[in-house]
Amino acid sequence: MELYELTIHELLDKLRTGETTSAAITASVFERIDAVEGDVHAYITLMRESALAEAAQADERIKKGKMGPLTGIPIALKDIYCTRGVPTTCGSRILQNFIPPYDATVVEKLRAAGAVFTGKTNMDEFAMGSSTETSAFGVTRNPWDLERIPGGSSGGSAAAVAADECIAAFGSDTGGSIRQPAALCGIVGLKPTYGRVSRYGLIAFASSLDQIGPFTKDVEDAAILMNVIAGYDPRESTSVPEEVPDYRTFLGKGIEGWTVGIPKEYFVEGIDPEVEAAIRRAIQVVEGMGARCVEVSLPHSRYCLAVYYIVAPAEASSNLARYDGVKYGFRAEECRDLLDMYKKSRSAGFGAEVKRRIMIGTYALSSGYYDAYYKKASQVRALIKGDFDEAFKRCDVLLTPTTPTPAFRIGEKMDDPIQMYLSDIFTISTNLAGVPGISVPCGYTQAGLPIGVQFMAGHFQEGRLIQCASAYEKQAKIEKRRPKL
């Protein structure tokens, strides 16, 4: 196997024994990028020069016996994290020339752990999308079928991991933007509990929903990365000072005697038959491990899409008001006055989907409509969270499909926003409730497209998720295929 094909834990073992070097691993990854990036377009910005320098520094530290938890491992970052001295665009023209003067907390932690940064990955503009088609920098393609989408909004990160253009990557998840592309690209994607990982330096879409998490090639790598990024940050007001366990201690344990809830609302009309069949097989695997699967109800699930598409655009409308062409980012030329400059900068700087959500959100927050829309949505959101609280009194974890269909064709849903929004129907609820979720590969369609199964757990129960997902991964023995790029 090539070095770029290996996992974090496999490469760390090789680095510890001196079997390879970070320089060799990083060179291997960039050789792979050179070979396939023209087809996939996973990256907006490559950081080749700084990555090779970081790899050389990592090798020096290893020689001195100063090896950290990620020393020498090439990792990609969604282009929504502030990175000091490196452009951070959010996939938008309005930030195409923005270079942050500081690192996000997660970037600081990864840097301190010894990671090598390969670049900034493509994404739906301001994380608003389910397909990575709304980026101002072009479409990312699914490595399994270049005519299909990789999912979104973190599609570049998912595609980069699936195509072996990095060893692991990071994304953000506001309504499924880690788990959905992970499922469609055949990899692992974990969304932590809201408040578990600092959002400081994450450019905001919807502040009460956004969460940072990893994309990896297996569950053990997800545990390794969670050990690095989780924890309290006094600079971030929603960060929770909850004790962080060593997530690797949850690996290799079974789930015998567990109760696994199967929400009946997640097996609905419209789910692809091959996806449903794969999830039914996953349920059988879980039962075969000694867990008891029981039907549960999340009765307010039918309101999730409606609630999400009021709450998220409303918060986006507020957050994106700062992009006015004055302080940073794109500014229109030949403007009559300040108001004209605002209008022209925002009209030219934002894409169609971002404008749509700003308008929806501004309307929902406007005088006379706030109570009817945002306030009501917030009240129903509390009921949705209550459903999960009740379910986790009976169950250790919940098991659902991650997506209703496999990856769809590029352009197939761009003219129908409602159909696009339905792509996140099984992932949105965890963001509204603030609970953690993980997507793990559970099979393939007859056409060879990946399918993912989603596990969800109670607040701050990422360890339980990792235990269940790693046990499933080991027992299911899903064939380790690779895209034929």
3-state secondary structure of 214: strand
State the SS3 of 376-409.
HHHHHHHHHHHHHHHHHHHCCEEEEECCCCCCCE
Distances in Å between the Cα of 213 and the Cα atoms of 79, 196, 210, 246, 382 are 14, 10, 10, 16, 24
Q: Which of the residues 28, 130, 135, 153 is marked catalytic? A: 153
**pLDDT at site 200:** 98
How far is it, in rounded angstroms, from Cα 327 to Cα 462?
39
pTM, two decimals, is: 0.97
Q: What is the pLDDT of residues 2-50, one digit of tens each?
A: 999 999 999 999 999 999 999 999 999 999 999 999 999 999 999 999 9
Q: Is residue 84 within 8 Å of 94, Cβ to Cβ?
A: no
Backbone torsions φ then ψ of 473, nearest 5 degrees: -55, -45
| 321-326 average pLDDT score | 93
Q: Within 398-482, where are the H helices?
A: 417-421, 428-433, 462-476
Q: What is the pLDDT of residues 148-173, one digit of tens each?
A: 999 999 999 999 999 999 999 999 99
Q: Which of the residues 28, 131, 177, 317 is marked catalytic? A: 177
At position 464, the amino acid (one-letter code) is R
Is residue 135 part of the annotated active site? The answer reads no
How far is it, in rounded angstroms, from Cα 457 to Cα 398?
6
| 289-299 average pLDDT score | 97
Residue 327: which pLDDT band, with cuts at 50, 70 and 90? Answer: confident
Question: Average pLDDT, whole number, for the chain?
Answer: 97
At position 142, the amino acid (one-letter code) is N
Q: Is the pLDDT of residue 67 over 80?
A: yes
Residues of the chain with CATH 3.90.1300.10: 3-251
Identify the bridge partners of residue 136 per DSSP, sorted by sequence position.
Answer: none
Is residue 423 part of the annotated active site? The answer reads no
Share of the chain above pLDDT 70, in %: 100
How far is it, in rounded angstroms, from Cα 271 to Cα 405?
6
Q: Which of the residues 78, 109, 120, 217 is marked catalytic? A: 78
Distances in Å between the Cα of 414 and the Cα atoms of 44, 136, 300, 318 are 21, 14, 28, 25
How far is it, in rounded angstroms, from Cα 134 to Cα 159?
16
3-state secondary structure of 202: strand
Q: What is the pLDDT of residues 342-369, one digit of tens each?
A: 999 999 999 999 999 999 999 999 988 9
Q: Which CATH number fits domain 3-251: 3.90.25.10, 2.60.40.10, 3.90.1300.10, 3.10.20.30?
A: 3.90.1300.10
Q: Buried (b) or exposed (e) across 192-204, using 16+ Cβ within 10 A?
A: bbbbbbbbbbbbb
Q: Is the pLDDT of residue 269 over 80?
A: no
Any idea which of 173-182, 265-274, 296-305, 378-387 has the lowest mean pLDDT?
A: 265-274
**pLDDT at site 417:** 84
**pLDDT at site 421:** 84
Share of the chain above pLDDT 90, in %: 95
How far is it, in rounded angstroms, from Cα 68 to Cα 88?
27
**pLDDT at site 438:** 98
Residue 228: which pLDDT band, with cuts at 50, 70 and 90? Answer: very high
**pLDDT at site 422:** 84
Q: What is the pLDDT of residues 418-434, one digit of tens each?
A: 888 888 999 999 999 99
Is residue 64 part of the annotated active site? The answer reads no
Beta strands 397-401; 259-263: pairing state: parallel
Q: What is the pLDDT of residues 368-401, one digit of tens each?
A: 899 999 999 999 999 999 999 999 999 999 999 9
**pLDDT at site 403:** 97
3-state secondary structure of 263: strand
**pLDDT at site 460:** 98
Identify the bridge partners of residue 295 per DSSP, sorted by sequence position.
Answer: 262
Q: What is the pLDDT of residues 80-96, one digit of tens each?
A: 999 999 999 999 999 99
How far is it, in rounded angstroms, from Cα 268 to Cα 276?
10
| 209-235 average pLDDT score | 98
